[in-house]
Structure 1
Amino acid sequence: MRILITILSFIFIQTLTAQNNVAELKSFLETLEKTDSIKQKIKEAHFQNLEILDLYIELERKIDFGYMQYRILVMPISGWDLKLNFISKDGIIKYGLISEYKYNEEKHLNIKNFSRSPDILRQYTSKHNKYYDTNLDQPDFIEQLLKEYVVGFGCGFSGKQISKESKKSIRYAKKRNFKKLNELLTSFSPELQTLGVIGILKIGKITDLQKKIIQHLKKRNSVIYSCSGCLYGIGETFNKRIKYYEQKASR
């Protein structure tokens, strides 16, 4: 019984600490306007209780319409890890989310907004729908901003693991499910878009609009979150990943 109480007390303290960490870091982020030297600014900030062990920029890449996407991992000395997911334009933070992140569950908790431009999601979503001929909404954008999709067909120590999203794209291609592959292609997420392109190239049947989108994605050439064995997030680009499938499709 004492062991159970101790465990529950530890979980409660960790949860409370993490919530306080989110609140403190959120308040600081709301004072920032620009993305330049953001890692250093956070490291040098003076917090009342939050003590940062280290932080890493996990993702910094181009997305559409002149925007950049960032993902930063903040590792406190006490409490759960924190994740910052935000987009910027011309070096100005436009929309951002901070959350606790549990790796074992791949789950974001206590999600808070530190946006400076609350209308930006409507504008971005509207532009996306017009360009890609989709009907996505703001919750779709938020979900795909937070979700850490992986483009991976040879992950893990053995090199035989396949990410959940990659498995879906394989299944869609085998079943020639054009609708699902097109949904991937026209997603917000560069990872899902990459998997959509791979599936479409495997089938070899491409519409004029899809050709236009693929050329756009090649020109944008976003960094994608991928794997190579046990290494994740190795900074691979869209063009590098699809080169093999393009060559195979042209034979």
Structure 2
Amino acid sequence: MTVAKDRVNDAPATPSIDPDEVAKFSAMAADWWNPRGKFRPLHKFNPVRLRFIRETAEQHFNISPNAKRPLEDLRLLDIGCGGGLVCEPMTRLGASVTGVDASEANIKTALTHAQEQGLQIDYRAGTAEGLIEAGEPKFDIVLNLEVVEHVADPHQFLKDTGGLVKPGGLMIVATLNRTAKALATAVIGAEYVLGWLPRGTHDWSKFVTPEEADAGLTASGLITEDPIGVSYNPLGDSWKLSGDTKVNYMIVARRPAE
């Protein structure tokens, strides 16, 4: 009985924000949502992945691309949601969104910004393991975006998060490949030469190859598709889908319907 109680207590929960904290987290939200601030790379990267998520969901769930709220009635988890840069657009598309992040500061920041925008998002501070141990109902869509390269055990993390996908649902993973090109561009170039990211943001040795990602996802019973590359166009200062998976890539994984 004690173990079960401890597991419930470990379940991700929405932190409270007292009046004295509002100004602090509003300022942090403004930083997260500033397209010219330190999160500029995420803002540049966001349009291509948001479009990919929407189009993948429409195809998977047989939704009309003309629907104003195509994700209506779908339950979506954004694991490692940060300041909510994906949660808010998904909410506006109609999804019932749960955003989970290990950083309580990130969750309070995301919660504050969502309230300022008049959006209802179920933000919780915690981990995927906490969701599982608490018996969280499974999700139609699980987004696993730029998270797996930061965890201690990528294989187990992918297996665990894959287990949160309900029958007939899907997961989208976005991460970085462990290649020489990724070391040169995503670490040395982005952090040390261009200064797009703070130095030390990424540990190249923890990058995940498509084969490793596939192994973790299939271990949870998901059926994976071939990875899709996401490449930077310096002339347009923008990102696009491509056939080059040597740096950034995304994988779609689906759980068969029962």
TM (normalized to structure 2)? 0.29
Rg larger in 1 or in 2? 1
TM (normalized to structure 1)? 0.30
